[in-house]
Amino acid sequence: MDHDTLVKQAKHWIWSQGCCVVITEMTSAASEEPDIIGFLPGYSIVIECKTSRADFLNDKHKCHNRSISENMGDQRYYYAPRGIISVDELPDGYGLLEPYGRGITVRKSARFRPKKNHQGEISMLVSTLRRIKGVSPPGANIKIYREGWNKKARATLGIKECQ
């Protein structure tokens, strides 16, 4: 299975969990760029899709994974084909999703995480709103992105790039 297929399947699963806003593979001013993040009122779920064991093992070295409070999501899941990730090697509190027939099975449920990157989630939502084309919904005034805003905003906010 390729990464795009996993993302599409996981997107449908996260919709089925009641998320009313779902964002996939979007670059923003946030320090993390999850494959999928879904929002319910006051709650968020992140899914990282992995096509290989090496991809999963490399995740430990990403800067946002070095500290629990630096990554997004009240719940976090990995989604990978069976056999790539073992339940006993998941980071503490993470869940594991795997393809099963035409759907997805929950091999391990994710636990609620009391600490997360609220600022990153807000940044992701603001970035999403600013990309909406057309008429703003009633009661919302949205300033659309200008070229170069993202880089300037990150510097102004003191957000550093991962090394």
Can you give the pLDDT of all 163 residues of the chain as single tens digits?
A: 899 999 999 999 999 999 988 999 887 766 788 999 999 988 999 999 999 999 999 887 665 455 556 789 999 999 999 999 999 999 989 999 999 988 999 999 999 988 888 888 888 888 888 777 666 667 666 666 555 555 555 555 554 544 4
Contact in structure between 78 and 36 (CB atoms under 8 Å):
no
Q: Hey, what are 130's tokens?
A: 């600013």
Q: Which helix (H) or strand (E) holds 100?
A: strand 95-100
| Structural domains present in the chain | 1-158 (3.40.1350)
Ordered DSSP codes for 142-153: -PPP-TTHHHHH
Q: Which helix (H) or strand (E) holds 24?
A: strand 21-24
Residue type, 3: H
Q: What pTM was estimated for this model as a whole?
A: 0.80
> How far is 38 from 42, CA to CA, in rounded Å?
11
> How far is 112 from 90, CA to CA, in rounded Å?
15
Residue 78 phi/psi, 5-degree rounding, is -105, 145
